[in-house]
Structure 1
Amino acid sequence: MSVSTSVSATGTAAGSEQQLAEFDRTTSRWGRATMLAGLAISMAGPLYLIFFTGLDISAGQLWTAFAAVAAVFAIIWIVEPVTYFPILGPAAMYQAFMIGNISSKLLPSALVAQNRIGAQPGTRRGDFAAVAAICGAAAIHLLSLTVFVGILGTWLISMIPPQIIDVARLYILPSVMGAVIVQSILTIKQPRITLIAVAMAVLVQFVLLPLAPGIAFLTTGIAVIATIAVSWLARDRKAATAAAAK
């Protein structure tokens, strides 16, 4: 009886691993395809303007514009994937970068879903929770856009007092970001990393930035990279060795 039970459990585990491997292959294949399709569609408009409308835009102007954008956002191209991947996982990363509004909408949704079912980020369960949460967030977003923008549109905005709109512009994004940070701290439950992240943010914001105001656009990347480096150096080597031995 025990032998048959063990064989059955082994077969079930092997079947589950095969299904998970197939899930990874499918999401990677379609994820790459949809991302490339999105890139092609987003580039179609600018390329049409350059080659078919006679705007007379030179290559030098294009590279100058690209350099201006890269000077501001290039660090984000590295920081965002490194920061989001441990929480979202590979499948949800494809969704997130295709949909957008990651830090203000999709990441909070994933964190709340993971916390609600007790799933740790970086695990299979956490990855599936992130995928489901992003699907739900995108569906609600489309529904709300249809109702409040497509149907009601400017009428609703005209009914809101300007003072409320000004308050929303000032405080909604910081409140969302604050909620994301608190949710991340509660979900990950790593006091040492939390203290390091807070210390790095304080040092960059109140020490480094006043000394070098020209790096204002790089402060987020500097804080994230410094937190990663210091956290790795201050890691619990005994715990890491024990976990690797299991």
Structure 2
Amino acid sequence: MSSFTKASIKIGTITLSLAIIFNFFPVLYLAVIHHVFPSKFITLFVLVASARFVSWIVQPLSYFGVLGTGGTYMSWLSGSVGDIRMPAARMAQKVTGYEGGTPEGDVIATLGV
């Protein structure tokens, strides 16, 4: 495994883990500091999770071939993967002549993202 991939996995895991934790801070703040627990939060979370569960699995797997390791972490952290990040990564690979799934293509996709 190349050093680029190892660094991407390390940095990506840390940043995505922090993003997940920080997304729950507003609810934790309301519950701990103000003793107000938004009762609709659990209902809303279950509703969204059940509706989006399949895409949470399928989309990262289907986009990984083009985005590579670094591009995948960056894309899912920043959002708009299908609309902005994928076309940008693919166009960067096309312009430079590198294919997705190669070490060079992964670096180019990350730069494109």
- Mark yes or no: TM-score above 0.5: yes
* 2:74 equivalent in structure 1: 95
Deviations 1:49-86 (A, max 9, x none): 2222232445xx54432221122211111111111111
Which among 67, 77, 96 is matched to residue 46 of structure 2?
67
Larger radius of gyration: 1
Count residues with an aligned counterpart.
Answer: 113
The residue identity in structure 2 corresponding to 1:118 is G
Question: Higher RCO, 1 or 2 (CA under 8 Å, sep at least 6)?
Answer: 2
Percent identical = 27
Helix, strand or coil for the counterpart of 2:99? coil
For structure 1, list consecutive stretches of 5 or more residues without a partner in the other structure: 1-19, 135-246
Give me the TM-score of the superposition, normalised by structure 1. Answer: 0.43
Give me the TM-score of the superposition, normalised by structure 2. Answer: 0.88
Q: Distance in 2 between matches of 1:56 and 1:81?
A: 32
Cα distance change on mapping 1:55 and 1:123 into 2, 3 Å:
same
CA-based RMSD:
1.7
Within a 5 Å distance, the mapping from 1:150-165 to structure 2 comes to none
The residue identity in structure 1 corresponding to 2:17 is L
In proportion to residue count, which structure has more helix? 1
Helix, strand or coil for the counterpart of 1:93? helix
* 1:23 equivalent in structure 2: 4
Within a 5 Å distance, the mapping from 1:22-41 to structure 2 comes to 22-41=3-22
Helix, strand or coil for the counterpart of 1:53? coil
Q: Distance in 2 between matches of 1:93 and 1:78?
A: 13
Helix, strand or coil for the counterpart of 2:2? helix
* 8 Å contact kept, 2:27–2:37: no
Moved over 6 A (4+): none
* 1:122 equivalent in structure 2: 101
The residue identity in structure 2 corresponding to 1:100 is G
